[in-house]
Amino acid sequence: MSPRTLFRTFAFAEAVTWTLLLIGLFLKYVTQTTDLGVRIGGGVHGFVFLCYGAVACFTWINQKWPARTGALALVATVIPYATVPVEMSLDRKGLLDGGWRLAKGGEPPRGVLEKAQAWVLGNPVLAVVIAIAGVAAVFSFLLFMGPPDTWFD
């Protein structure tokens, strides 16, 4: 899977899960029929939100984006549907082109982040297992904490 495909997949998934969450919020607060949509849509959205953030950082490192571009990709996740126009803009500018530059036989990694990315690209199965466990741990902690509007009560 290329950086472009990975980033595009999660940018689209983030937009889809925003839809699920917004439908859930509508059902809970406007129609006052059920909060099931918020519990399910919010949970799915939260998980994809974390995954998109990790993918955006991974792509940022690979593509050598300037800080402003990487930050824009990350900020896009908190604005409903913003990941799609950001992805389209990055793609149009050629900022998602190419393969994994730190993969085996590619550029030598420099710095801690590039060395970590090179390790991930050299050990994809183990890296995916670790990433899923890490995202699941953060997600579980956030579920334990409850909805964000209750954190400081």
pLDDT band at residue 127 using 50, 70 and 90 as cut-offs? very high
CA dist list (Å): 109 to 3, 6, 62 = 17, 21, 10
As given in the structure block, the two tokens for residue 113 are 């982040």
pLDDT at position 47, please? 87
For the chain, the structural domain boundaries read 3-98+135-148
Spatial separation of the C-alpha atoms in residues 62 and 100, rounded to whole Å? 6
What are the residues whose beta carbons fall under 8 Å from the beta carbon of 29, sequence distance 6 or more? none
pLDDT average, residue stretch 61-82: 96
Q: What is the pLDDT of residues 15-31, one digit of tens each?
A: 999 999 999 999 999 99
SS (H, E, C) 88-119: HHHHHCCCCCCCCCCCCCCCCCCHHHHHHHHH
pLDDT at position 36, please? 86
pLDDT exceeds 80 at position 3: yes
